[in-house]
Amino acid sequence: MRKFNIRKVLDGLTAVSAVASASSAAQQQQAGNRETEIQETLQSEHFQLCKTVRHGFPYQPSALAFDPVQKILAIGTQTGALRLFGRPGVECYCQHDSGAAVIQLQFLINEGALVSALADDTLHLWNLRQKRPAILHSLKFNRERITFCHLPFQSKWLYVGTERGNIHIVNVESFTLSGYVIMWNKAIELSSKSHPGPVVHISDNPMDEGKLLIGFESGTVVLWDLKSKKADYRYTHDEAIHSVAWHHEGKQFICSHSDGTLTIWNVKSPTKPFQTITPHGKQLKDGKKPEPCKPILKVEYKTTRAGEPFIILSGGLSYDTVGRRPCLTVMHGKSTAVLEMDYSIVDFLTLCETPYPNDFQEPYAVVVLLEKDLVLIDLAQNGYPIFENPYPLTIHESPVTCCEYFADCPVDLIPALYSVGARQKRQGYSKKEWPISGGNWGVITQSYSEIIITGHADGSIKFWDASAITLQVLYKLKTAKVFEKSRNKDDRPNTDIVDEDPYAIQIISWCPESRMLCIAGVSAHVIIYRFSKQEVTTEVIPMLEVRLLYEINDVETPDGEQVPPVPTPGTGSNPQSIVPQSHPSTSSSSSDGLRDNVPCLKVKNSPLKQSPGYQIELVIQLVWVSGEPPQQITSLAINSAYGLVVFGNCNGIAMVDYLQKTVLLNLGTIELYGSNDPYRREPRSPRKTRQPSGGLCDINEGMVVPEDRCKSPTSVKTKSRKFSKMVTNDIDVKDNSFSRSRSSSVTSIDKESREAISALHFCETFTRKADTSPSPCLWVGTTLGTVLVIVLNLPPGGEQRLLQPVIVSPSGTILRLKGAILRMAFLDTTGSLVPPAHETWREHHEDKDEKEKAKKRRPVSVSPSSSQEISENQYAVICSEKQAKVISLPSQNCIYKQNITETSFVLRGDIVSLSNSICLACFCANGHIMTFSLPSLRPLLDVYYLPLTNMRIARTFCFTDNGQALYLVSPTEIQRLTYSQETCENLQEMLGELFTLVETPEAPNRGFFKGLFGGGAQSLDREELFGESASGKASRSLAQHIPGPGGIEGVKGAASGVVGELARARLALDERGQKLGELEEKTAAMLYSADSFSKHAHEMMLKYKDKKWYQF
């Protein structure tokens, strides 16, 4: 444990510093005499980086499989990812190293294993008997391309069909090829002159495992006799085949074709189909064939004991249904139900009561994998309702534009959000329980709650319970409902500054203790929300419009950027006194005909019913100024104890008192400096007509983002608008002299690099060098690396807070760092984090008596620093894109400095707590994650994790307390990770188990007569046919076996519990058997040695038995 003596550092600094005011020098000396020592407990061994869990819908899904005994669902993707789902809360993510698309998945049913076939012609065997599944074996095909795989139930022989039309057979235990091959030219008729195409289907006859049904793309189907190695029957059809399915009795099968038809064939009648159906074709009166339809991509044929069979298919719609959504068709008896889907169907599976293909299937549900959703349909209820999906697969319902992550939240927060969110749930779901119910939950080792907030392109905000590595949606807030929506594109106002998603959320500022929420949207709007458990109807939506302009004129005009007085209909501060007024039309113009004083969005002027949950407190909008559109907001902060919200952009900064509904501060960035601005500013650039939307909505990857780097890592999008109430209450800081000038080189700021507000932090600290006690203030960071301090003079609490104005004034304090400022925080004299002041939440809509009581018992909550002794100091921690500094307050001496990166830049920096201490965590654009101790800024962790491949990662990456972090790894998925050694160690226990011990159901009873006369299922000794002794060895050049990393190590790392114990017992038996084998070999060697000795001794005896002793 290292100790840092602040006194010696300060003494050294003061010796060098010749210029200091008398008061600050006296204060510094006093601080030095206090022997302040801060013990840092965090060491590098407290840190370790690892991924924990991945949430959300698998991005670009391509394959689907289900284990009907274990009740586990597997989804493969086009990027080689594998997602496994069990009961709600049991999820797993794996990745194929090659990144090739998964084309098919096959469970070894109830064996705890899965085979994946990839587009790079490899097969992989996954061991699911451990918490983190691993590959046991791989097989790479060199000469042929894999198109279809089939693994019969309770068989170890996997049939692999190829593009050339051949079928190879793989032993899944050893992952080696059998010498038995079904060649395409032997399968089809010799008279056929053309190649039948790739294999699109393989399955064995449910009643006879010795008969294999092979479907070729061209339309040929062959029933192959495995024993005699020849084709029994060949079925030909003019149309290409997409899929084939058996009737469970093995006497009929059904094919789906590219012309939208289904053909049902009797096994023993190969000449023509028994029946041809066109499910969506228009039947013509004169008996002609129906018009062709779109291809039926898949069909399943499932039987029931009690009624008609189910024929379930995807595709097959007629070509004249232009614009119709993708459909799943369920045909049951004479009824046909067409179920429309929101997205394209990737695959579907029918869930049945039995895993045996030769029994009545009894289907009870259909799993439909869509391009961007997973749907389960209940087949047992009328109308086929869907099941309510318990997995967190709706993250991308609207593209995510920003994320915030909060750990160790107040204990009552998640129940409060859940209770208001429960009212938003849809009705009409199936009454049955979710049928995917396999696996077991992990052990919960963490006691704190976590919340993730996602902001979306449509203006919605979702709150998620992220405790204990799970994810569950709690509550959804729609911010766009406060605005008038244009019905079509032509109807849109010409004041929009973005082409798409005008309501998208850009920044979220949330106070968990007071539950106050503030969002900034892409249309330069800010909305403040207050949490309430009661429903209210807001007659008039409270609104402010702010005129924020960046302008440099040759002639200095002190009032150049102040808001011109606008007549306001209401003078009181009570929101109820705001009288609705007509919104300025989009044609509002200044004297030169340019748009002026017009916000981008129009607020509704009708009463707004607000459900329990987050309710609008105030809407603030930036307006057009002389034809110049408002610039997007780059930083935002709210403080519930002060009743203030502040935001800034590349033009300047504005502060609003949301209790009194007044603008307190409205300054251009330059005016914050006063007369000591060190930069040479160019005159205002020509105005821009429109802004790009920033590429925030990347649900479909590949957009080019105009920005080359992320200045505000917490970017988010949203839009809002309200009634005009503009208040002129600006502060002129030009006459304030600064006590500290900046020595950095003078730079020119052109139109593309205006100094934007990049960080805002409310706190209670020392604002000037001469201060003897901390006071409320706002610290402002800019993109040029400047930190300025604004003093807040707040009226007393209670009634006075609503009547007296808040006085805002600059302090004159300026600090400098290299690179844009990202984050600021404050430590007390012991090195502990000083949280911003906050109120605790209370119901806002109370009776008057309750409010009076609350005023008496509830003073404005302030941060712990306010109770410090006068002589105690604080430390400001400031992190920029390039460096971090720790500055002693009130002396303003830099006591520690760390250059984080020279060649890259920091995208996200957070001051977080870990193991009862605090540190600075940073994520750089070069992919490095770093942590530094506080206050000394010692490097503790530096790991190359992830290169910045797109703006989505930069926009959504965030750290939080207790060593947690997350980012959006794809447009539909959140990846969580930890940088805490303790969490990494506990992760194995926290993860759920996929495999559980379940008895395989009994095989169907053949019945007396079937047994007597040889009916029922015919079994096959596949070992006898496919084993090396019968079929020989396969060609070595055909496929290459690759041992996987999940062999014996995977077994050793198996989860604790029954499965783990079994694995360890099996391992122990293997080791014991190995030792017994070694012992047996040693014994045999000793016996051989003894036998040799005996023979040798006997020979010696014979040689010398007749000789006398003296003859030796």
DSSP 538-563: ESS--EEEE-------SS--TTTTSP
Within 10 angstroms of residue 830's Cβ, the number of other Cβ atoms is 10
What the block records as the tokens of 509 is: 């500022």
- Return the pLDDT at 575: 35
With a cut of 70, say whether residue 1016 has pLDDT above it: no
pLDDT band at 129 (very low <50, low <70, confident <90, very high): very high
With a cut of 80, say whether residue 319 has pLDDT above it: yes
Average pLDDT on 100-112 reads: 96
Question: Residue 829 in contact with residue 503, Cβ under 8 Å?
Answer: no
Interhelix angle 6-16/22-32, nearest 10 degrees: 150
Q: Which of 1047, 923, 1034 is nearest to 975 (CA)?
A: 923
Residue whose entry in the numeric block shows the structure tokens 């921690």: 877
pLDDT band at 852 (very low <50, low <70, confident <90, very high): low
Q: Is 1016 or 864 the better-scoring residue by pLDDT?
A: 1016
Least confident segment among 371-380, 526-535, 1051-1060? 1051-1060
State the chain's mean pLDDT as an integer. 80
With a cut of 50, say whether residue 418 has pLDDT above it: yes
Query: Which residues touch 181 (CB under 8 Å, ≥6 apart)?
Result: 166, 167, 168, 169, 1034
Q: Which of 105, 106, 103, 109 is nearest to 71 (CA)?
A: 109
Query: Which residues touch 732 (CB under 8 Å, ≥6 apart)?
Result: 558, 559, 562, 671
- Exposure string of 563-577, with b = 16+ CB inside 10 Å and e = fewer, is beeeebebeebebee
Average pLDDT on 55-66 reads: 96
- Return the pLDDT at 1036: 72
- Return the pLDDT at 1077: 57
pLDDT band at 558 (very low <50, low <70, confident <90, very high): very low
Residue whose entry in the numeric block shows the structure tokens 């009873």: 1005
With a cut of 60, say whether residue 716 has pLDDT above it: no
Question: Residue 642 in contact with residue 805, Cβ under 8 Å?
Answer: no
pTM for the model: 0.81
Write the DSSP symbol of residue 206. Answer: T
- Return the pLDDT at 1100: 64
What the block records as the tokens of 702 is: 């590949």
With a cut of 60, say whether residue 556 has pLDDT above it: no
Q: What percent of the chain has pLDDT over 90?
A: 56
With a cut of 80, say whether residue 1089 has pLDDT above it: no
pLDDT band at 35 (very low <50, low <70, confident <90, very high): very low
CA dihedral sign, ordered 570, 576, 581, 585: positive
Distances (CA, A) of 436 to 356, 375, 472: 19, 12, 17
Least confident segment among 225-239, 719-733, 949-963? 719-733
Question: Residue 654 in contact with residue 546, Cβ under 8 Å?
Answer: yes
Q: What percent of the chain has pLDDT over 70?
A: 74
pLDDT band at 913 (very low <50, low <70, confident <90, very high): very high
Q: Give the pLDDT confidence of 856-867 residue by residue, as tens digits.
A: 444 444 444 444
User: In which element (H, E) is residue 906 found?
Assistant: strand 906-914
Strand order in the sheet with 757-765: 757-765, 775-782, 786-793, 807-816
Q: Is 434 or 689 the better-scoring residue by pLDDT?
A: 434
Q: Is 690 or 281 the better-scoring residue by pLDDT?
A: 281
Residue whose entry in the numeric block shows the structure tokens 């600090």: 815
- Return the pLDDT at 746: 34
Question: What is the rounded CA–CA span in Å between residue 408 and residue 421?
Answer: 21
Least confident segment among 272-281, 371-380, 707-716? 707-716
Question: Residue 338 in contact with residue 313, Cβ under 8 Å?
Answer: no
Question: Residue 961 in contact with residue 914, Cβ under 8 Å?
Answer: yes
With a cut of 90, say whether residue 134 has pLDDT above it: yes
Q: Give the pLDDT confidence of 612-645 residue by residue, as tens digits.
A: 999 999 999 999 988 888 999 999 999 999 999 9
Distances (CA, A) of 1011 to 413, 966, 1016: 65, 61, 7
Average pLDDT on 574-591 reads: 39
Query: Which residues touch 40 (CB under 8 Å, ≥6 apart)?
Result: 1, 2, 3, 4, 831, 917, 933, 934, 935, 936, 938
Three-state SS sequence of 1023-1036: HHHHCHHHHCECCC
Distance of CA 42 to the CA centre of its chain: 29
- Return the pLDDT at 925: 93
Query: Which residues touch 1076 (CB under 8 Å, ≥6 apart)?
Result: none
Question: What is the rounded CA–CA span in Å between residue 335 and residue 318?
Answer: 18
Q: Give the pLDDT confidence of 954-984 residue by residue, as tens digits.
A: 889 999 999 999 999 999 999 999 999 999 9
Tell me the backbone φ, ψ of residue 345, rounded to 5 degrees.
-85, 125
Q: Give the pLDDT confidence of 1021-1042 residue by residue, as tens digits.
A: 777 777 776 666 777 778 888 8
Q: Give the pLDDT confidence of 727-779 residue by residue, as tens digits.
A: 333 333 333 333 333 333 333 344 446 889 999 999 999 999 888 889 999 99
- Return the pLDDT at 232: 92
- Return the pLDDT at 560: 34
Distance of CA 3 to the CA centre of its chain: 40
What the block records as the tokens of 171 is: 């032993």
∠ Cα 609 610 615 (to 5°): 145
Q: Which of 542, 488, 544 is nearest to 666 (CA)?
A: 544
Q: Give the pLDDT confidence of 592-615 residue by residue, as tens digits.
A: 557 788 899 999 999 999 999 999
Most confidently predicted of 34-38, 822-826, 946-950: 822-826
Bridge partners of 254?
A: 245, 264
Within 10 angstroms of residue 341's Cβ, the number of other Cβ atoms is 17
| Distance between start and end Cα atoms, the chain | 83
- Return the pLDDT at 1075: 59
Question: What is the rounded CA–CA span in Å between residue 922 and residue 927?
Answer: 10
156: phi > 0 → left, psi -120 to 50 → alpha, else beta; which?
alpha
Average pLDDT on 416-427 reads: 88
Three-state SS sequence of 954-1023: HHHCEEECCCEEEEEEECCEEEEEEEEHHHHHHHHHHCCECCCCCCCCCCCCCCHHHHHCCCCCECCCHH
- Return the pLDDT at 65: 97
Question: Residue 168 in contact with residue 1033, Cβ under 8 Å?
Answer: no
Within 10 angstroms of residue 290's Cβ, the number of other Cβ atoms is 18
Q: Give the pLDDT confidence of 997-1009 residue by residue, as tens digits.
A: 999 998 887 654 4
Question: What is the rounded CA–CA span in Å between residue 426 and residue 432?
Answer: 15
Average pLDDT on 161-170 reads: 94
Give helix then strand counts, H and E, for the chain. 14, 63
Based on the number of CB atoms within 10 Å of its own CB, is 969 exposed (0-12), middle (13-18) or buried (19 or more)? buried
- Return the pLDDT at 28: 40
Q: Is 679 or 280 the better-scoring residue by pLDDT?
A: 280
With a cut of 70, say whether residue 714 has pLDDT above it: no
Within 10 angstroms of residue 531's Cβ, the number of other Cβ atoms is 21
User: In which element (H, E) is residue 518 found?
Assistant: strand 516-521
- Exposure string of 318-332, with b = 16+ CB inside 10 Å and e = fewer, is beeeeeeebbbbbbb
With a cut of 60, say whether residue 786 has pLDDT above it: yes
Question: Residue 684 in contact with residue 676, Cβ under 8 Å?
Answer: no
Question: Residue 480 in contact with residue 519, Cβ under 8 Å?
Answer: no
C-alpha dihedral (877, 881, 883, 888), degrees to nearest 10? -20
Query: Which residues touch 656 (CB under 8 Å, ≥6 apart)?
Result: 526, 544, 546, 618, 620, 644, 645, 646, 662, 663, 664
